[in-house]
Chains A and B, each alone.
Chain A
Amino acid sequence: NAGVMQNPRHLVRRRGQEARLRCSPMKGHSHVYWYRQLPEEGLKFMVYLQKENIIDESGMPKERFSAEFPKEGPSILRIQQVVRGDSAAYFCASSPNGGAPWEQYFGPGTRLTVT
């Protein structure tokens, strides 16, 4: 049973470009969480999605960031017009249901560098 998969693992973008980060949850998991980790900091919640629904996006910056989790395929975190401050590690976690954080399994992360 494969774990949570994220790709790419490393992504370099120039300022103003778009970044697309993908997260494939574990088999049987229909809930996905995205977290951002700035250098030398803890993880910060961004968004919580179920298939085709955004449940909680209270941690998402108001502009340039969006997330989706379609019926088929991975969850996508999209950052438009990236800036240097977006450089961070982005982790997703998946769980089989939304009420059990101890069942959240983290992916390996995507390290985004904006030059």
Chain B
Amino acid sequence: ELKVEQNPLFLSMQEGKNYTIYCNYSTTSDRLYWYRQDPGKSLESLFVLLSNGAVKQEGRLMASLDTKARLSTLHITAAVHDLSATYFCAVDELRSGSRLTFGEGTQLTVNP
């Protein structure tokens, strides 16, 4: 069974600081996705990583994928309050018919 683990699960940081969220998964896959969820809302797609070594950046967020290590990172640079949300990574198991397996989520709070 595919397992996807995120760490940390809770992250409280100050504005202006940098931090990294880690996503480990247990099976061979080269397709990983990052989503943002605000309280009571649906999921917003942030990044789609489709190959080993993929790196994507959008604003203060940068995501990377290392398929050999089965690890993805979401790096936050100079955090601002608007980034407060829960962040999920999800893995697409190649033989699954494209269902997604999600991590538990990282609840990020950025304090002024």
| A→B interface (CB under 8 Å) | 33, 35, 41-45, 48, 55-56, 59, 91, 95, 98-102, 104, 106-109, 111
Contacts and interface: CB of A to CB of B under 8 A. Distances in A.
Given A41-B105, A42-B105, A107 B42 contact: yes
Contacts of B31: 101-102
Interface stretch (B58-66, B67-75, B91-99): B91-99
Nearest to A107: B42
Contacts, number: 58
A102 B42 contact: no
Nearest to B104: A42
A107 B37 CA distance: 12
A104 B101 CA distance: 13
A100 B45 CA distance: 14
